[in-house]
Each structure stands twice: as C-alpha cells, then as structure tokens.
C-alpha cells in the first residue's frame, strides 16, 4: 500500500520549477492529480510528466478577428450599429451546440448597448418634458405675480 503525498501549490512550484499559473491551469483542465482540502489545492508529489496530461490546444483568434474588433461602426448618435459586430467571429472550431464565448459576449454587449441607448433616449425625453413644465410654471408664476400686482394696485386706489 503506497502512501501518496500531496504538496501545496507553492511548494510544488518550487520543487519542480513550474509556475503556479501553470499549475492552476492544469488543475482547471484536470490534467494533474490534485485534491482540494481546507480551501487549498494540493498536488500529488510527482513530477508533472508522470501525471496524465490530455493535450488540449488553446483556441486561437485570427488576426482578422482582432482587426475586426476595431472596425465597429457608429451611427451619428455614437451608438454602435447592430449590423457591425463589435468583435469578429470566433475562429476556433467549437463543440457541436456550444456557442463560442466571444459570440456570447458580443451578443450580450449588443443587448446592453441597445438597452443603454433606449434608457438614454427615454431620459432625454423626460428632460425635455420637464423643461417644458418648468417653462409653463415660470409663465404661470409671472401671470400670477402680475395679477397679484394688479390686485394690490386696485386695493390702494
């Protein structure tokens, strides 16, 4: 019966000269043997080469996609048009049925911009309505003051 030893991330990192961010990535991908104990990750005390590693190539974003992110067109009001995506399409092949993260983020960003524009438009309308009411109240105050002056002039006579 073997007694498996586990090390905290910092100790494993020092012992095997591996960055903590790499260890966290491997934990997230479940490519390394670990346990989670008392709110801390502990890694099996074996060199990473002995751990089972599944090769998962990182998704790449094409240069065209990055350039496309800067091409967002705006209409005269400064609001980004829906027809021009803020970010290009995600170029990595995705699992069937899974929506690319950038596509989801782009869709949510578009919805937020649309909602923000609508709220700004409503607020502008409210401000115009309130300005009209203020003008009406000022006019009413002038009329009442002049009527008051007229009545006060009649009392003295």
Please give the tally of structural domains in the chain: 2
Percentage, residues of the chain above pLDDT 70:
66
DSSP string over 55-84? --PPP---HHHHHHTT---B-TTSPBPTTS
Q: Based on the domain organization, do 42 and 90 belong to the same domain? A: no
Residue among 61, 62, 54 at smallest CA distance from 31? 54
Q: Based on the domain organization, do 24 and 80 belong to the same domain? A: no
The answer to whether residue 155 sits within a structural domain is no
pTM (two decimals): 0.33
Domain that holds residue 15: 6-50
Q: What is the pLDDT of residues 77-94, one digit of tens each?
A: 444 444 444 444 444 444
Q: What pLDDT was estimated at residue 31? A: 87
- Cβ(88)–Cβ(64) under 8 Å? yes
Q: Based on the domain organization, do 76 and 130 belong to the same domain? A: yes
The answer to whether residue 149 sits within a structural domain is no
Q: Based on the domain organization, do 74 and 16 belong to the same domain? A: no
Highest mean pLDDT among 30-34, 45-49, 95-99, 122-126: 122-126
Q: Based on the domain organization, do 73 and 27 belong to the same domain? A: no
């Amino acid at each position: 019966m073997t007694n498996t030893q586990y090390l905290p991330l910092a100790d494993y990192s020092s012992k095997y000269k591996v960055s903590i961010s790499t260890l966290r990535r491997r934990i997230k991908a479940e490519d390394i043997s670990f346990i989670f104990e008392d709110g801390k990750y502990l890694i099996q005390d074996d060199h990473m080469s002995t751990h089972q590693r599944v090769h998962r190539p990182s998704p790449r974003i094409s240069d065209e996609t990055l350039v496309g992110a800067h091409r967002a067109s705006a209409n005269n009001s400064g609001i980004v048009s829906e027809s021009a995506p803020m970010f290009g399409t995600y170029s990595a092949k995705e699992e069937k049925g899974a929506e690319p993260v950038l596509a989801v983020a782009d869709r949510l960003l578009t919805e937020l911009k649309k909602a923000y524009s609508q709220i700004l438009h409503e607020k502008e309308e409210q401000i115009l309505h309130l300005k009209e009411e203020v003008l009406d109240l000022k006019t009413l105050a002038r009329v009442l003051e002049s009527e008051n002056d007229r009545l006060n002039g009649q009392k003295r006579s």
